[in-house]
């Protein structure tokens, strides 16, 4: 399955690039386990960041940022077959969960609950 990993990226960072990078690292952490289980992990920022930069994005939260980041996640959800929601406050991730549920997609809150994932 193509699985969207959703959780805090910008939330709670005050737009500090170091804190945002740490959040992205946390989002990426379960990707190998998902891959080993036969899934394809996806994170919206993996797609949105290069698009934003190519469009001329200059500052987190600028107009281009707002025009690109949430729509990318919504478009990805049209392709994904499930969502892994990681802990932490995030309006964007909560919205991803809402959309996934509206579309009848499974939402997991623990990595070990995703089919085929073995945690050590």
Nearest residue to 4 via CA among 101, 120, 107, 112: 107
Residue 119 has a pLDDT of: 81
Instruction: Establish if 11 belongs to a structural domain.
Output: yes
Within a domain: 75 = yes
> Model pTM greater than 0.85?
yes
Identify how many contiguous H helices and E strands the chain contains and give both numbers.
5, 4
CATH code: domain of residue 28: 3.40.50.10400
In a domain, 118, yes or no: no
Which domain covers residue 61, as residue numbers? Answer: 2-112
pLDDT tens per residue across all 120 residues of the chain: 999 999 999 999 999 999 999 999 999 999 999 999 999 999 999 999 999 999 999 999 899 999 999 999 999 999 999 999 999 999 999 999 999 999 999 999 999 999 999 887
Number of domains in the chain: 1
In a domain, 37, yes or no: yes
Task: Catalogue the E-assigned strands of the chain.
Answer: 2-6, 40-42, 82-85, 107-108
| Size of the chain in residues | 120
């Amino acid at each position: 399955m193509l699985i969207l990993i959703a959780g805090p990226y910008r939330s709670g960072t005050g737009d500090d690039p170091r804190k945002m990078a740490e959040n992205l690292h946390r989002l990426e952490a379960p990707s190998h386990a998902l891959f080993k289980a036969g899934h394809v992990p996806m994170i919206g920022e993996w797609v949105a960041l290069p698009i934003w930069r190519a469009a001329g994005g200059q500052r987190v939260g600028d107009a281009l940022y707002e025009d690109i980041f949430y729509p990318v996640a919504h478009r990805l959800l049209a392709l994904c077959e499930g969502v892994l929601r990681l802990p932490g406050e995030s309006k964007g991730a909560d919205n991803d969960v809402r959309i996934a549920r509206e579309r009848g997609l499974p939402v997991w809150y623990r990595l070990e609950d995703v089919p085929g994932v073995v945690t050590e």
